[in-house]
Structure formats: C-alpha cells, structure tokens
Chains A and B, each alone.
Chain A
Amino acid sequence: MRPVAVIGIGKTPFGAFADRDLRALAVEASQKCLKNAGATPAQVEAFYLGNFAGPSFMGQSHLAPYVAASMGITDVPATRFEAACASSGAAFAHAHAAVASGVFDLVLVTGVEKMTSQQTPRVAEILAMAGDCSGEGKAGATFPALFAMIAQRHMHQYGTTREHLAAVAVKNHANGAKNPDAHLKKIITMEQALAGKPVSDPLTVFDCSLVSDGAAAVLLAPLERAGEFTDKPVRVLAVAQTSDHVALDQKDDITTFRAVKTAAEKAYRTAGLTTADIQFAEVHDCFTIAEIIAIEDLGFVEKGQGGFYSLAGKTCLSGEKPVNASGGLKSKGHPVGATGVAQICDVALQIRGEAGERQLKRNQIGLAQNLGGSGATCVVSILGAA
C-alpha cells in the first residue's frame, strides 16, 4: 500500500437552501475542491459519492453519474455509497483503499444531502430507515429516541447528567459561532440548553444535530504526486471502517459502540499511534450523548467519564483535547451524507492552518470519527501534516 494525501478540499456552507437542489450542492463542493487542488474534471479517475437518502428526500436515484456528468466528469467509475450517516465516511474509506492500492491516482470523494425540502415528520421517517424498520422502527422509535435510550442507559450506569449533555451543546455552539460555514452560528448558554423543548427524554432540541442541506468534497492522490497540486498536502495516516448490528436491541451494551472501538483500534494500529498522539478530533455528535460516548470509545477518556470530561471544559478549543472545533454536527449542521467528508475537510483545514478564528495551535495530528445509524457503521480516519 502506498501513502495517500488529501490534496484538495471544498465545502458548501451548511444550512437550509431553498434555491439549491442536491446536484447543485454536490457540484458546488466538488468544483471548489478541484479548484482548491488546481485539478481539472478530466484528471479525476473515479468519483465516489456519499449520500444517505437522496432517493427518499429527492425522488432521484443513480446519483453519482447524475452529479459527476453535470460537472464534466464522464467515462470513469461514478458510484454512490450508502451507510446512513457514515455514507461519505464509507466513500472516503473506499476511495482511500483504491488510491493506496494503486487502482487509481486521483479520486474525488463528495458527500451530499438535501434534507430541508421535506417536513419534519417525513424527515424523521426517512432518518428512521437507518435503524431496523422491522423492530424498533415499527414500535415508533425515531433516531432521537434511539439515542435517548442510549443516553438513559449511560446516565443510569455512569452518572452522566443533563448538565453533561448540555455542556457538549454549549461548547459546540460556541465553536460553530466561529465557523462561517456553520448552519447555526449562535452561542447558547447552559440555562438555554437545559430548558430546551423535549424531543425524546432526556434529549431536547439542544441535544440534537440539525437537519441541513450541504455538501463537502476532498480530492485524494498518492502522496508522491501531491506536490504536483498543492504545497499543503495532508497525509492520510489511517482509515478504518467497521460494522455492527443495525438494531439497538441486538447490542450487548448500548453505552458503547463496538464499531467505534474496533475502528479506532485498527486506525491507531495502522498509523502506529496511540490516543495520546491525537491532538484534536472531529467526532460524530449527531446527539450530545454521541460525542460523550465517542470520546470514551476513542480512548480519550475512561469509560463513563465522557460527560464529566466535557463539563470540565477539556474538549473546548483551549482544552487538552479539542473536540469538534468546527462546531460539530450540532452547530455546523448535519447534512447526513455530507458529514463524513465534511469532517475530513475540517481536520485537513486545521492541519493546513486555515481554520481562522477556531484554529488550534496543536494541529499536526487529527482524527475524524463518522458514525452510521446507532452504531452499525463507523469510519475512523487519522490525518497528519505531510
């Protein structure tokens, strides 16, 4: 396997955009990415598209060539990857494997979701398809409900509190307020976070990520060719994708995500690193409890300590392990299929020193953790300065 680099990144802002459809968003991010790398559509040897539910949200299938051809990419493999909220993380993992193994040199990976054209109950119904529709779905479980049940159990076993959850929301909103591309650039207080409208006990609106439109793209190349395109290549040190049961009731312990632990172990081993080497991370905070469990499963803290660690401010921009400097899914937004690649863009932006107001000083090695469903897919990527 040969070393691989991210040579270009591109994102649309995240938000609710009545004037832009799925294709327009994907094309915008992809073109920004190619421009960022100084590459042309003709140089792209394969197009990997991460998208969760375009067919349900938009009534359009066959999305990868639909997007690729409209920006002048034809005659190459163009394929959509679906792995719920880890759709573009999965696309990134497979693109990385293709470049690392020498199948292709330049691969464009784009993630996109267009969600705001549907009303909330329909959005909830589409998102619930990422769970087990024959069991928990039939019983009326929403996605927030699955994570609410995870939170109840985590609180029961480890003494995690509503304040712990709220601390994650407050921190991510503060970070997102510094991110010009974030969906909700709004600082919130602990009092506001605790008084949110209930969605599914114990989660309120302030514990839930946003329903957003948006797209993100990265261009991958073998490290040895990166210099042809950029003087700021970001090296991919490891990518690991793992899987587990889709249904929550099939997992032995719902306070931990087996797929996250196994992906993290594999990624650390591949990169030859330990948790202590990770200077910052973008983790999948689809719900506040998910960030707390992520930092535990990634080994940043002992099991059960994620909430206490968050409330103590250790994960804020000036903390010992900054998490979600971008604002995370909570504030940056969560266009489901775009999230995995957007996380890679945000880690790369930090390593390149281009993160503006939210730039971290310790920015040489960063991790991205992208979760699908209630933990049935996980992709952990570790990036470093080249």
Chain B
Amino acid sequence: MSGKVYTETVIYSAPEAFVKDVPYQIAIVTLEDGRRITGRILGAEVSIDDPVRLAEERGGVPYFRKAD
C-alpha cells in the first residue's frame, strides 16, 4: 500500500498513551485509490506531497515510511 502525504504534523505534546513516543509524526495519506487514512510516520520526516509506502501495521494503525 502506498500513497502521498496530504498533510502531516510532528507532535510534541501528547495524550497519556503516547507520551513515551514524543516527538512523533502523524500524517493523513491519500492512497492510490483516492481514500485517505491517518497513520504514523517511521524514519525520516515527511512533507506534504511526499510519496510514502506502508511499512507495517500495529494495533490497527498504519505506519508509513518515505518512499524513494
């Protein structure tokens, strides 16, 4: 599964469950079929329009990584 970053943000202040992850980046990704999905970004930070691909899925959350 791959797509393009529609929007993103790096979070510095988190809810209890995610305090240990700070800072972390989330993004809304537009998938190839046009659907949009919210997920986490692994590795290098991404910007709007960057291509990303699904790296893994944990607890129902998609984790994307910047595609080359």
Chain A contacts to B: CB under 8 angstroms? 120-122, 124-125, 128, 134-136, 138-142, 144-145, 148-150, 152-153, 156, 197-203, 247-250, 254
B13 touches A139 (CB 8 A): no
Nearest CB on A from B35, distance (A): 9
**Of A142, A153, A197, A203, which contacts B15 at CB under 8 A?**
A142
**Of B6, B9, B38, B39, which contacts A200 at CB under 8 A?**
B9
The verdict on A249 contacting B38 (CB below 8 Å), with A138-B61, A149-B7, A152-B8 known, is yes
- Residue of B at shortest CB range from A254? B7
Within 8 Å CB of B15, what residues of A?
121-122, 124-125, 128, 140, 142
Chain B contacts to A: CB under 8 angstroms? 6-19, 21, 24, 26-28, 36-40, 48, 59-62
The verdict on A201 contacting B9 (CB below 8 Å), with A125-B15, A248-B38, A249-B37 known, is yes
**Of A120, A134, A249, which contacts B13 at CB under 8 A?**
A120
Query: How many Å lie between the Cα of A248 and that of B29 in the bound state?
Result: 11
Most buried by B among A128, A140, A144, A254: A140
Most buried by B among A120, A134, A144, A152: A152
What are 24 contact pairs spanning A and B, CB under 8 A?
Answer: A121-B15, A122-B15, A122-B16, A124-B14, A135-B38, A138-B60, A140-B11, A140-B14, A140-B18, A140-B24, A140-B26, A141-B11, A148-B9, A149-B28, A156-B48, A199-B11, A200-B11, A200-B13, A201-B9, A201-B10, A248-B28, A249-B28, A250-B36, A254-B7
